[in-house]
Structure 1
Amino acid sequence: MHLDPARGYDLIGDIHGCAKTLEHLLTTLGYRQQAGVWRHPQRMAIFLGDLVDRGPRIREALHLVRDMVATGQALCIMGNHEFNALAWSTPAAPGSGQQFVREHTPRHARLIKETLEQFEAYPAEWQSFLDWFYELPLFIDAGYFRVVHACWDASLIEPLRAQFADGCIDEHFLQAAAVHGSFANTAFDRLLRGTDMRLPHGMTLTSDDGFTRAHFRTKFWEEDPQTYGDIVFQPDALPELAAQMPLSESQKTELLKYGADQPLLFVGHYWRSGKPALIRSNLACLDYSAVLNGKMVAYRLDQEVRLDPNKFVWVDVDSPEARP
């Protein structure tokens, strides 16, 4: 995708239905509503996905972002929650052994609950947003910078680009994701959820959101990790015994590496906390847990080829977001 290098870009992390906070952030960035659309005279917003689920104003957030995209004021990529919504709503292909691409388990129902409830009185509108999700690319490659929701894996992005030049998938590809281990399943999982590893010796961990997991999210940029603790990248700490365990040489070899010499990369997804900061000079995560009363974060990108720690802009999420 060729973007105008003379234009500035404001990359914005996960929204999750926090529409009031998004408006506050856009105002802070110098955007103003004109003819019902948020606009900036010199800049464009790029949203990193996860507009839906969990938050109090999902419908309003979707309208705001889609209107900006439709009028050329923003771009938006797909997050795992937009994929989840499509997969929840799409019948699986015959012979897959499933009724829907994303099975209607209690856990999956809990994750999409707020979205479905907020659109209960607007079924046609919800269908129009599902259709729109197919227009959200899985990645943006602008040459000097890249955007993906969770993880940039060139071994998957190159064949994806060969099949879908604009990065936007179709229903057939979505249905293929129901087959575990398929290319579609692997691509969605890696690009939209990131890399992970199984905990050693059958260990599990229970996260703050109440889910018990046998896998944990891993860094995809660590140059010389030695232990499980060196590669963990998630809000939930590993059990101390697991964190201290050494990685095997085969595990080290299998880890994905996004090199320090690669173009700038922006991701969301990872529920960070504290003061927004670079991961390293070519990598920034912009998800700072807005829907958990954290921060909604943007990075103001101009023509720099190395990230500037002073170019983060954020607003704190406070209790008014939850009130009508």
Structure 2
Amino acid sequence: MLDPARSFDIIGDVHGCALTLERLLDALGYQRIAGVWRHPRRQALFLGDIVDRGPRIRQALHIVHDMVAAGQAHCIMGNHEYSALGWVTPALPGSGKAFVREHTPRHARLIDETLTQFANHPADWQAFLDWFQTLPLFIDAGRFRLVHACWDASLIEPLRRQYPDGRVDRHFVQASAVSGSFAANVCNRLLRGTDMRLPDGLTLTGGDGLTRAFFRTKFWEDDPQTYGDIVFQPDALPAEVANTPLSHSQKSALLRYAEDEPMLFVGHYWRSGRPAPIRSNLACLDYSAVLYGKLVAYRLDDETRIDPRKFVWVDVDRPQASQ
């Protein structure tokens, strides 16, 4: 799938920040030629979540799609592209749902900005939905890997026997509406990551305004002892929860991405601060661009361990109109 003659620029969640994306591509040495951002020696690799939330979703999709179509980029599926597909895809009979992504008020709020920006461009939106269906859930280049949220070999290996290039079909998306199915487990784990229920029925309202009974967890800690050791999200756990010891069964159920595995790049997790590796073989490139954070890239050449000096980013300044 990837051109071995090129080096790569791996780019985190765009979320409709099209002008910020153009600034980043310019900083990386890409030039807009014949309407497409191009580089003579490099390809851009997008980690998904191009849609939702931001001010220029349609423009951002055109930038990324046109680069992919011209051979200047690849893009994997994020949970927001999957959710957009689910919003319009009828669920299988007997699933108890009308659509894969149920049309609840909460789900409607998450996709509202995208649907609003495409309201006068229905053919354009349908074309992008068709494109979303072609996006792979992962890329395994041997030396490095890309997935939106979490690499789980126990799911990816059987998935690639069925879909060798990681591109699933419409039936797979429909099957993912059935809770506990293989398709549902794949989409939840690879696109949303791992999580754990908060103790004692506790719920937390995050910075995004959503109230959750679960918190996002790390999938690489070797010997965690408490909830605080595995939390991986912008919203901190209350101190009494963070200090709660993990049970033996909770520890046993945790996923682990070992340090001797290939380099892995993910998005999804709304990081903050100065971009840096999590470990020598793991980096998250989502630094909350749409929340006035940073749009981040990693410049990958022939290294086999992540180099802290090779992160490139542009800051997203207020007001939003400056993006």
TM range (shorter): over 0.9
What is aligned with 1:270? Answer: 269
Partner amino acid for 1:54? R
Partner amino acid for 2:13? D
**2:100 paired with 1:101:** yes
Q: Give the alignment's TM-score, normalised by structure 1.
A: 0.98
**2:236 paired with 1:237:** yes
What is aligned with 1:34? Answer: 33
**2:23 paired with 1:24:** yes
Could you tell me how far apart the structure 1 residues matched to 2:176 and 2:222 are? 31
**Map of 1:126-137 to 2, 5 A cutoff?**
126-137=125-136
What is aligned with 1:248? Answer: 247
What is aligned with 1:195? Answer: 194
- Conserved in 2, the CA contact under 8 Å of 1:58 and 1:118? yes
Partner amino acid for 1:206? T
Secondary structure class of the residue paired with 2:265: strand
- Conserved in 2, the CA contact under 8 Å of 1:139 and 1:149? yes
Deviation at 1:211, TM superposition (A): 1.2
Deviation at 1:323, TM superposition (A): 5.4
Could you tell me how far apart the structure 1 residues matched to 2:16 and 2:141 are? 27
- Gaps of at least 5 residues in structure 2 are none
Residues 267-287 of structure 1 deviation map (CA, whole Å, 9 limit, x = unaligned): 000000010011000000000
Deviation at 1:319, TM superposition (A): 3.0
What is aligned with 1:179? Answer: 178
Could you tell me how far apart the structure 1 residues matched to 2:69 and 2:198 are? 44
- Conserved in 2, the CA contact under 8 Å of 1:21 and 1:321? no
Secondary structure class of the residue paired with 1:92: coil
What is aligned with 2:307? Answer: 308
What is aligned with 2:298? Answer: 299
Secondary structure class of the residue paired with 1:271: coil
Partner amino acid for 1:121? N
Deviation at 1:5, TM superposition (A): 3.7
Q: How many residues align structurally?
A: 323
- Gaps of at least 5 residues in structure 1 are none
What is aligned with 1:81? Answer: 80
Deviation at 1:252, TM superposition (A): 0.8
- Conserved in 2, the CA contact under 8 Å of 1:10 and 1:44? yes
Secondary structure class of the residue paired with 2:151: coil
Residues 159-217 of structure 1 deviation map (CA, whole Å, 9 limit, x = unaligned): 11011111111110001011111111110000000000011111111101111111000
Could you tell me how far apart the structure 1 residues matched to 2:296 and 2:158 are? 31
Deviation at 1:6, TM superposition (A): 3.6
Deviates more, 1:314-323 or 1:119-128: 314-323
- Conserved in 2, the CA contact under 8 Å of 1:217 and 1:233? yes
Could you tell me how far apart the structure 2 residues matched to 1:190 and 1:270 are? 13
Deviation at 1:253, TM superposition (A): 1.0
Deviates more, 1:310-319 or 1:19-28: 310-319
Kindly tell me: are residues 191 and 170 of structure 1, through their superposed partners in 2, closer, same or farther at Cα, counting changes over 3 Å?
same
Could you tell me how far apart the structure 1 residues matched to 2:7 and 2:99 are? 41
Could you tell me how far apart the structure 2 residues matched to 1:298 and 1:323 are? 20
Partner amino acid for 2:304? V
Partner amino acid for 2:76? I
Partner amino acid for 2:251? K
What is aligned with 1:167? Answer: 166
- Conserved in 2, the CA contact under 8 Å of 1:65 and 1:74? yes
Deviates more, 1:146-155 or 1:247-256: 247-256
Could you tell me how far apart the structure 2 residues matched to 1:321 and 1:38 are? 23
Percentage of pairs with the same residue: 74
Secondary structure class of the residue paired with 2:174: helix
Deviation at 1:4, TM superposition (A): 3.5
Kindly tell me: are residues 132 and 156 of structure 1, through their superposed partners in 2, closer, same or farther at Cα, counting changes over 3 Å?
same
Could you tell me how far apart the structure 2 residues matched to 1:193 and 1:113 are? 20
Could you tell me how far apart the structure 2 residues matched to 1:246 and 1:5 are? 46
- Conserved in 2, the CA contact under 8 Å of 1:205 and 1:239? no
Deviation at 1:96, TM superposition (A): 1.4
Secondary structure class of the residue paired with 1:146: strand
Could you tell me how far apart the structure 1 residues matched to 2:318 and 2:216 are? 29
Secondary structure class of the residue paired with 1:319: coil
Partner amino acid for 2:173? L
Deviation at 1:67, TM superposition (A): 0.3
Could you tell me how far apart the structure 2 residues matched to 1:210 and 1:13 are? 22
Secondary structure class of the residue paired with 1:235: coil
Kindly tell me: are residues 321 and 41 of structure 1, through their superposed partners in 2, closer, same or farther at Cα, counting changes over 3 Å?
farther
Deviation at 1:320, TM superposition (A): 5.7
